[in-house]
Structure 1
Amino acid sequence: MPAGTGGKLLSMAQRRAFHLEVQDDHTVSNEDEPMRRWRAGLAPLDPDNYPPDWKRWEDLTDEATTRGVALQRVRVVTEPLTEYIRFLHAVTDRNQAHGEDIRWLPRHNVDPSEVTVDEWWLLDDEALAWTLFDGQGDFSGFALTRDPVEVARAISVRDTLWPKAVPHNTYEPGTR
């Protein structure tokens, strides 16, 4: 996600920002070099190849958590993991070091009625921002609503999935 857009979104949150991810592939252009390095068995992230958007995201999450915002993310994933999700798993420690609480939930442990097909952010249980992608799969923005029915559905999904999801530090990708 371009950090500028994410910054506007995170600045709206005062207490809690929850992100639901459900897609097994989001390969985007600013991840090409880190993925190439990861595939080659090299450290995917170092000062020489760290994507500037990722550094800006870390600064935004640092700022949000300093303001007292709890940043939570659940990644609903298909096992065995796709290459992209394995890559994300390999770099998630860095997100967590900057304040995100990230959990993993194997798709086979979720009833389809408990999850949405869209990805979104829930901000303070008051606003819902669907994540939008362009035809190439790159992030293109958000669609924001405060509709109480939509927000209530997102709260229900979050409250159902969060306790089922496995914290990043203990998640061992399955081979199902």
Structure 2
Amino acid sequence: MSQSLTSFADLLRAAERSAVHLEMRDAYGAENEIEGFAAWREGHRLNPDDRDSWWRPWLDLVQEVTNKGVVMRRARIVSEPLSDYIRFEHSGTFTNVAAGEQIRWLPRRHASDLALPGNDFWLFDRRLVQFNIFDGSGQWVHTDQTEDPAVAQLCASAFEAVWERAIPHEKYSV
């Protein structure tokens, strides 16, 4: 399934209680991050005090959804030592937190005994799962969605197991 930000935004806005996201890759090839990643590699860092320089439509959406009471949580399973991409993600995660998202990091070595789905996913209200399918270089390929209760339960259990072990963003240093 091909998906635009607008249709994903509609999914997120439709959430009533929760939206959780599990990320398990050490690099993503997101086209909209190429320039920012290159600038970060050259030493540019976002200034937390200059919100206008980093606030963007995604953060407006996060704030809109969390302000209506939806709990948004993201857990990232990462290899250590961290890839440059994950260090880049970490340096900008304060923006997601400022918008209302809760984020934790789990070193991959602490996830070895967890049963995890094969792909990153979003789980909305513990019932709708959206798997994000990437190719080997981290390029997004498509999404798969299901409301199968067994799959939703698997993803909910996996996310909660990761969340319980993961380190809150403000305590995870790179």
The TM-score bracket by the shorter chain reads 0.7 to 0.9
| Inter-partner Cα distance in structure 1 for 2:17 and 2:52 | 34
- Classify the secondary structure of the residue corresponding to 1:114: coil
Q: After superposition, what is the alpha-carbon deviation per residue over 1:67-120, rounded to whole angstroms, capped at 9, x for unaligned?
A: 110000000000001110010001000111001101000000012543223000
CA contact (8 A) 2:75 2:162 kept: yes
Offset at residue 141 of structure 1 (A):
4.4
| Inter-partner Cα distance in structure 1 for 2:53 and 2:38 | 11
User: What RMSD in Å do the two structures reach over aligned CA positions?
Assistant: 2.3
Counterpart for residue 89 of structure 2: 88
Of 12, 15, 21, which aligns to 2:17? 15
Alignment of 1:1-176 (within 5 A): 3-44=5-46, 55-133=56-134, 137-173=138-174
> What is the TM-score normalised by the length of structure 1?
0.86
CA contact (8 A) 2:104 2:166 kept: yes
Offset at residue 134 of structure 1 (A):
5.8
- Classify the secondary structure of the residue corresponding to 1:25: coil
> What is the TM-score normalised by the length of structure 2?
0.87
Offset at residue 10 of structure 1 (A):
0.4
Letter in 1 for 2:56: K
- Classify the secondary structure of the residue corresponding to 1:108: helix
CA contact (8 A) 1:75 1:103 kept: yes
Offset at residue 138 of structure 1 (A):
3.5
Aligned length: 170
| Inter-partner Cα distance in structure 1 for 2:92 and 2:114 | 30
Q: Which runs of 5+ in 1 are unaligned?
A: none
CA contact (8 A) 2:21 2:122 kept: yes
Q: After superposition, what is the alpha-carbon deviation per residue over 1:108-166, rounded to whole angstroms, capped at 9, x for unaligned?
A: 00125432230001111111111133676333543211101101101110121111000
